[in-house]
């Protein structure tokens, strides 16, 4: 694989969206991951910086932009530097501006 690309399952593991690389591969193979809007079931799909990854989890859907490719599975603070969260919500069910 080219230096500017990385396997999707490996990146998900480095970014701490799965506890093991095997679980990351199963997440992709089950069809819960999209890359740039296209569903993929191939854990070896090559991703690059700038790709948008959508992960459908049981209680949330995450939309992320790849900011960097990982070199190791490090601490959580290091993992957060691999992506930008594009969800845009704060997680609050009711905003403070509602007067009802």
Q: Is 90 a domain residue?
A: no
Q: What is the pLDDT of residues 18-53, one digit of tens each?
A: 999 999 999 999 999 999 999 999 999 999 999 999
At 85, is the secondary structure helix, strand, or coil? Answer: strand
Q: Is 65 a domain residue?
A: yes
Q: Is 92 a domain residue?
A: no
d(CA 69, CA 99): 44
What range defines the domain where residue 12 resides? 6-85
- pLDDT of 97 reads 53
Name which residue leads in pLDDT, 53 or 1: 53
Q: Is 21 a domain residue?
A: yes
How many domains does the chain contain in total?
1
* SS3 labels along 8-55: HHHHHHHCCCCCCHHHHHHHHHCCCEEECCEEECCCCCEECCCCEEEE
Q: Tokens for 51, please give them.
A: 């790709």
- What CATH number is attached to the domain comprising 56? 3.10.290.10
Q: Is 100 a domain residue?
A: no
Contact 7, 1 (CB under 8 A): yes
Does the structure show a pLDDT above 70 at 80? yes
């Amino acid at each position: 694989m080219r230096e500017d690309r990385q396997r999707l399952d490996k990146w998900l593991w480095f970014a701490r969206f799965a506890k093991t690389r095997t679980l990351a591969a199963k997440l992709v193979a089950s069809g819960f991951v999209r890359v740039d809007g296209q569903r993929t079931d191939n854990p070896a799909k090559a991703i690059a910086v700038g790709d948008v990854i959508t992960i459908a989890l049981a209680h949330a859907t995450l939309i992320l932009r790849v900011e960097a490719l990982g070199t190791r599975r490090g601490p959580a603070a290091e993992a957060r530097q691999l992506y930008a969260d594009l969800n845009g919500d704060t997680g609050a069910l009711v905003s403070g501006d509602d007067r009802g």
